[in-house]
Amino acid sequence: MRAGLSSTIFLFACASYACAGAKAPEPSLTLMDRTTAGANRCVVTKSHTRPFVIEWDATDLSMFEAKAAHDTVFVRYEGCHLTVLDCSDASLRGKLGAYRPPEWTSGGVEGFDMSTEQELYAQLPLGAASLSGRLDAGEALRLRYFVSGVSIATRDAIHRGELPARCTSATHFVEAYNLGAFELASRSRTQAGMSASVGGFGAGARDGKDLAVLKRGGELDACRDEASRATKRCQVPIRITLRAIDDGDAPPAPAPRPSGGDKMTALLEAGGIRNAAMRKLQDGDGAGCLRDLERAAEIDPDPEHVEIVAQLHGQCTMKAGKCDAGKELLRAYYRRLWGKASTPDAVEATVKSQAQAHCPR
């Protein structure tokens, strides 16, 4: 997984905060890595932390989607190199966050043309080194894309002190990724200009004899139809957003409030945090849910209020990868809830149902 993802995402980023002198590729890099490593004209622009994905094949796509289904994706971003790191914990999925279900949008076809290397490196730092040869040969490039939705990480910040030892070299995490479709094409600049209309682009275009599609992800035509937009034909990862990892340790949970303080304020604050914990469970972030519940208990330690979210505590423990511990918490909760009316079989059946819903598979 690590090797596949490294070669996958390496291709679509050629940016850094210190990109003045690109280093020669190391002998251990793959052929795909060397393609991007040759770029020596990286310019720090906003697009470099929001690179398009135009080099992924079906295998690369499935690898990224499998990784992002349970954990936040981390990368090392230095010079003109972007490498995906394996920071996940198989025994504790979502320990450092996960991704919420996609938020769908109506969207629309957008795009841009590139006829100079400056435009190419500014717009497509991904694989720009390999594409620049086409510009040198007298071609112009065009990217058209449709964004149908976005999946956002449950964590808006991650601190270096939270990372496992094997992942201390990480510099960024994937804060979000866009879904949709794209099409990259080229044509000779000696022809009578590239058509500016979206309708003249793609399969069946009136200038198709002059236009060569280099790479396609999903289907742009499918994105124009609302029914087709709900299929994989318009739900391909096409762009990611990177966010730098914060230095230091994660902020400590607030200290318990002294007795006699404003209890209503504490109750409201803790209630908001417990609601956030429930949303994190729905988003698949079990570890984040547990952190919120712990924080809420420190602010509002009233045993009755803690008991109200006892079931949620067990569910989040399961979602965080501790299935057996979560089962025990739920068994104890249902026994307290049902009292003498509970039976071992009824408790076990309910716990089994919860485990099927929340334990990692």
Burial 160-198 (b: 16+ CB within 10 A, else e): eebbeeebeebbbbbbbbbbbbbbbbbbeeeeeebbeeb
User: Is residue 241 within 8 Å of residue 49, measured between CB atoms?
Assistant: yes
Closest CA to 279 of 309, 241, 242, 247: 309
**Is the pLDDT at 3 greater than 60, yes or no?**
no
Residue of higher predicted confidence among 230 and 139: 139
pTM for the model stands at 0.59
The answer on pLDDT for 69 being more than 90 is no
Q: How confident is the model at residue 351 (pLDDT cuts 50, 70, 90)?
A: very high
DSSP state of 23: P
The full 3-state SS of 75-105, as one line of letters, equals: EEEECCEEEEECCCCCCCCCCCCCECCCEEC
CB atoms within 10 A of CB 203: 12
Cβ-Cβ contacts under 8 Å for 152 (sequence gap 6 or more):
99, 100, 103, 175, 176
Pair 173, 245: CB distance under 8 Å? yes
| pLDDT at residue 76 in the model | 80
- Tell me what percent of the residues of the chain surpass a pLDDT of 90: 22
* DSSP per-residue codes, 120-154: HHHH--TTHHHHHHHHHTTEEEEEEEEEEEEEEBS
From 62-66, 244-248, 290-294, the region with the lowest mean pLDDT = 62-66
Say which CATH architecture domain 263-358 belongs to: Alpha Horseshoe (1.25)
Band of pLDDT at residue 222, cut at 50, 70 and 90: confident
The pair of three-digit structure tokens given for residue 318, joined into one six-digit string: 């399961």
Res. 128: pLDDT tops 60 = yes
Question: Is the predicted pLDDT of residue 246 greater than 90, yes or no?
Answer: yes
Amino acid identity of 255?
A
pLDDT recorded at residue 90: 67
pLDDT at 256: 54
CA dist 176 and 99 (Å) reads 8
The per-residue pLDDT for 261 is 52
Q: Are 45 and 234 in contact (CB under 8 A)?
A: no
Domain ranges of the chain: 2-244, 263-358
Query: What is the per-residue pLDDT across 249-298, written as a single tens digit (0 to 9) for each?
Result: 887 755 555 544 577 888 889 899 999 999 999 888 988 899 899 888 88
> What percentage of the chain has pLDDT greater than the value 70?
76
Most confident of the ranges 65-79, 250-264, 303-317: 303-317
Q: Which residue has the higher pLDDT, 114 or 38?
A: 114
* Strand, coil or helix: 310: helix
Q: Quote the DSSP letter at residue 32.
A: H
DSSP 233-300: GG-EEEEEEEEEPBSSPPPPPPPPPPTTS-HHHHHHHHHHHHHHHHHHHHTT-HHHHHHHHHHHHHH-
